[in-house]
Structure 1
Amino acid sequence: MRNLTRAALATTGIVVIMAGAASAQDKVKVTFLFDNAPSTVAMAEALAAAFEAKNPNIDIETESRPGGADGDNLIKTRLATGEMSDVFLYNAGSLFQAINPVQNLVDVTDEPFQANVIDSFKATVTGTDGRVYGAPIGTAMGGGMLYNIPIYKELGLSVPKSWAEFMANNEKIKAAGKTAVIQTFGETWTSQLFVLGDFYNVQAVVPTFAADYTAGKAKYASTPAAMKGFERQEEVFKAGYLNEDFAAATFPDGVTKIATGEGAHYPMLSFAVSNIKELAPEHINDVGFFAIPGDDAASNGLTTWMPAGLYIPKTSKHPDEAKAFVAFVASIEGCDVQTQSAGATGPYLVKDCTLPADVPPVVSDLLPYFQEGGHSAPALEYLSPIKGPALEQITVEVGSGIRSAADGAALYDEDVKKQAQQLGLPGW
């Protein structure tokens, strides 16, 4: 039996770890897998170190993995072969559903730390059996446009509320000899924001789209509002607004370019502010954020993403110690470690976690969308269990001029159909 410190008792509600753990002389090794984004690595290693300091008999062994489709495949392969780490970080929402949580993951519904977790997150890590299988790590995010504040000031630009205003800004930026829009197709997952980040605008025009899409009644290619994400990505490419190295540039390249003014816009999730802190800290106050604009400035709003989840596979050899680590992450102290290591990137979904007063502009621009009276809606992947795995390859093709927007949307509808059939959804 191992006692946790008084602070851990207060924040996690865990009193003891039951017998079966190693003795005081032996360390129990708990393996922890997470994606290789610089900010995630910094956060994960800081959490591991802070937890070990409070639990000297537990050693957290960290391991990073690729992002995007390669990371998805690795997660599914390890779960299928019984070789998954004791704790792993992965998406909530539709991608969580695709890893068959009821079969593969430990049920954590009744763990004491769930009292700390806000209900809106629990809904995104709930299996088909109604049980909860994860806890949040990181903060809620927005999917929109990072923009370079000095370029906007230099050219006298205002934050756009409509697509027409956004494209007018891009034309002025191009005329000034600057890159208007950064793309980083060297990492394919980064290509999806024009489509996924546009969902607030889709829902504003077609409020029933998520339900109809899940039921197999609504398609991207036959719903004009949903098609626009593909069309806008195509439009930006055809206008010649992209950086010359868009096909090979990576996510760290994009973060550095937007921070240093090598480009004016970067469609991305707002969590990238933590990568700016890692890669170009002297420019942290040079980057702002706005929602991807739709046709109507009056209905401007933000597509939001839930934090990633921490999960424990049923194959874990040390489930009690793994739960203790997850409980630490989902605590006020865990939030503070995350803020100190990766920066404040948005609101936490753990009760009573707070952000410092001096947050970077990306975060201060983001928060009003989440506050009462703000305009935001969850991304489609939190309203529907369907997200086709080939979207990132399709949006690379559309964004590179290889495939038309219409063909891309139609191909994605076929990709989605396969996913829905694998999930056994009616109507497909």
Structure 2
Amino acid sequence: MLGRTKITAISMILLLLFLSACGSNNGNNGDNGNNGSAGKKVTITMEAGQAMKANYPHIFDQANLDEFEKLHNIKVEVIIDPDNQVKNILQTKIATNETPDLIVYNKVAAENELNAVTNMLNLSDQPWVSRLVDADSLKAPDGNIYGFVMQMPLDAQAVVYNKDIFEELGLSVPTSYDEFLEVCEALEAAGINPLFAPFKDAWTFQIWTAGSFGYYAEKVEPGLWDKINAGEVKWSEVEAFREILERGLNLAEQGYISKSALSDDFNMAPNAFSKREAAMMIMGDWFVNDMAVKDPELNLGLFPIPAFNDVDELNISQSQLGGMVFIPEASEHQEEAKKFLDFVSQKEQMDRAQAVAPFMPSVTDASEPQLTPLQQEIYDNYIETGRKVVEMNAFMKVDLTELWKYYQDMFAGGKTPQEVLEAWDKKFAELMKASGQPGF
């Protein structure tokens, strides 16, 4: 009897273990097999800098992250690095194959600083590519797509102008440098300072060159940035760069820029425009947006920087494509990361993120955003028509502060445009060599 009781007890224990195992397996299949990992929750990491999260919040939208986890049983853990450390942190992780599963970075910066073509997955075959509004803008120099963005840029670096003053004087938006000089002459004759120039701030005049140099390198001499960054061409050897600087300096020599330019700063600009003390400024859309709040009666617009006489259509310049999400080759969860990009590319997720902050979607089937009048103007006149180029700064691998100081020297009479470029050749080579760039 004792032996029989023992066998029966053992049998019952085995039966209970079997039933428990079956129940456990059924309970773990929470995503219906969507994550390919037998129902176990997977955590993928997405890493970015502080400014990237602040400037491109759509990809970090918590409601979307929660919905993705609910549908696919995949949690997205966001890692935010200090802006002054993020490049070094990510470069180190890539070098040691200890990368996050997703990296959020600026497009051109990722190509230059993170070697995206080598270190990131080629995503050209992903399903969302066929739905992109402008697939070409996402392509790397080799023609492949290595990242996804939720939003297309709607910024513009250009000449800000007072529309009412132009209308009162019967002035048209200039389409060439010579026409720009005529507009300046008419404004001066009417007793209005043509251009407010806050050149005490070194970053301000560089908008003239960043856009114009960018236009020349993209439209006239494609591949020029690669040659300059490889040490094959010097800045002073590009005649168009000297001519662009000369035309900028000429505005001051003709008296269209006030003599106080090097002591005027950006903080003085709102007052100058509100009091109609100036009609134009080399700036960007952010100033127009800011003035719409500070002085709603002010009617400002913008037009492309007119540094050329010999082009069919002037282009606005834009910052590089920001908030691009890459999947590193060393990612531990590549398939889960691909699912996330496909997920956020869908209309529902695009619309959900737009409810927080409107943006121009990167895919054709998302809802159209409620744009401000200025954003609509930029989109209709320049984005949709392709009249845009990426600013020079996006392609640079070193800090440009010294170049901007040389521009100030030029307006102070200390350097000619040619001497600016020659001085920058020397400094550029030093900086490129110090950062270990080949060719220097």
Short-chain TM bin: 0.5 to 0.7
* Residue 36 (structure 2) pairs with residue 18 (structure 1): yes
Secondary structure, counterpart of 2:235 in structure 1? coil
Cα shift at 1:198 = 0.6
Query: How many pairs were matched up?
Result: 388
Contact 1:201/1:225 (<8 A) preserved: no
* Matching of residue 390 in structure 1 with residue 407 in structure 2: no
TM superposition shift of 1:370: 4.2
Pick one of 79, 85, 92 that aligns with 1:81: 92
State the 1:131 CA deviation: 5.5
Of 47, 61, 64, which aligns to 1:50? 64
Evaluate the alpha carbon distance shift between residue 365 and residue 264 of structure 1 in structure 2; reply closer, same or farther with a 3 A threshold.
Answer: farther
Q: Does structure 1 residue 61 correspond to structure 2 residue 73?
A: no
Aligned-partner SS, 2:243: helix
Q: Deviations over 1:353-377 (max 9, x none)?
A: 56447652343245333445x6555
Per-residue deviation, 1:341: 4.4
Cα 1:278/1:398, change in 2 over 3 Å: closer
Are the structure 2 counterparts of residues 224 and 19 from structure 1 closer, same or farther at C-alpha, using a change threshold of 3 Å? same
SS of 1:280 mapped into structure 2:
helix
Alpha carbons of structure 1 residues 192 and 3: separation in structure 2 relative to 1, 3 Å: farther
Quick check: 1:196 aligned with 2:214?
A: no
Q: Please say if 1:134 is aligned against 2:138.
A: no
SS at 2:114 equivalent: coil
- Partner Cα separation in structure 2 for residue 108 and residue 205 of structure 1: 27
Q: Deviations over 1:168-192 (max 9, x none)?
A: 5557379536962456848x5x664
Q: Structure 1 residue aligned with 2:112, among 74, 97, 103?
A: 97
Letter of the 1:101 partner, please give it: A
Are residues 1:280 and 2:293 paired? Answer: yes
Q: Tell me, yes or no, if structure 1 residue 293 matches structure 2 residue 303.
A: no
TM-score by length of structure 1 reads 0.67
Conserved? CA contact 2:47–2:79, under 8 Å:
yes
Query: In structure 1, how many angstroms separate the alpha carbons of the residues matched to 2:269 and 2:53?
Result: 11
Q: Note the C-alpha offset of 1:293.
A: 0.7
Which residue number in structure 2 is paired with residue 230 of structure 1?
A: 245
- The reply to whether residue 113 of structure 1 matches residue 122 of structure 2 is no
Shift of 1:288: 2.2
Instruction: Give the 3 Å change call, closer, same or farther, for CA 176–259 of structure 1 in structure 2.
Output: closer
For residue 292 of structure 1, report the CA deviation from its aligned partner.
0.9
In 2, the alpha carbon distance for the partners of 1:202 and 1:379 equals 10
Task: Give 3-state SS (helix, strand or coil) of 2:129's partner.
Answer: helix
Deviation at 1:218, TM superposition (A): 4.5
1:40 partner letter = N
CA displacement at 1:17 relative to structure 2? 3.0
Matched, 1:176 2:185: no
Q: Which runs of 5+ in 2 are unaligned?
A: 1-28
CA distance 1:268–1:3, shift in 2 (3 Å): farther
Aligned to 2:425: 413
SS in 2 for 1:16: coil
For each residue in 1:144-201, what CA deviation from the matched residue of structure 2 results, as whole angstroms up to 9, or x when unmatched? Answer: 2343445545665432222344355557379536962456848x5x664212211466
**CA distance in 2 between partners of 1:168 and 1:112 (Å):** 51
Q: Which moved more, 1:321-330 or 1:412-421?
A: 412-421
1:368-406 alpha-carbon deviations (Å, 9 max, x no partner):
33445x655565689xxx634233441244146476333
Contact 1:256 1:276 in 2 (8 A): no
In the other structure, the counterpart of 2:158 is 144
Distance 1:22 1:279, change over 3 A: farther
For residues 237 and 396 of structure 1, do their structure 2 counterparts lie closer, same or farther at Cα, with a shift above 3 Å needed?
farther
% of aligned pairs identical? 18
Contact kept, 8 Å, 1:303 with 1:379, in 2: the verdict is no
Evaluate the alpha carbon distance shift between residue 303 and residue 95 of structure 1 in structure 2; reply closer, same or farther with a 3 A threshold. farther
Letter of the 2:140 counterpart: T
Amino acid at match of 1:408: V
Are residues 31 and 107 of structure 1, via their aligned partners in 2, closer, same or farther at CA, if it must alter by over 3 Å? Answer: same
Q: Deviations over 1:119-161 (max 9, x none)?
A: 31342275xxx76421124314554234344554566543222
Question: AA paired with 2:173?
Answer: V
CA 61–414 in structure 1, closer or farther in 2 if over 3 Å, else same: same
1:124 aligns with 2:133: no
Q: Residue 54 of structure 1: CA displacement?
A: 4.5
Give matches, 1:272-351, under 5 Å. Answer: 272=286, 276=289, 280=293, 283=296, 286-296=299-309, 299-305=312-318, 307-308=321-322, 309-313=324-328, 319-336=334-351, 339-344=354-359, 348-351=361-364
Structure 2 residue 380 is the aligned partner of structure 1 residue 360: no
Q: Is the 8 A contact 2:358 2:369 kept in 1?
A: no
Q: Which AA in structure 2 matches 1:407?
A: E
Query: Structure 1's 191 and 295: CA in aligned 2 closer, same or farther, altered over 3 A?
Result: closer
Alignment RMSD, CA only? 4.9
Normalised by the size of structure 2, how large is the TM-score? 0.65
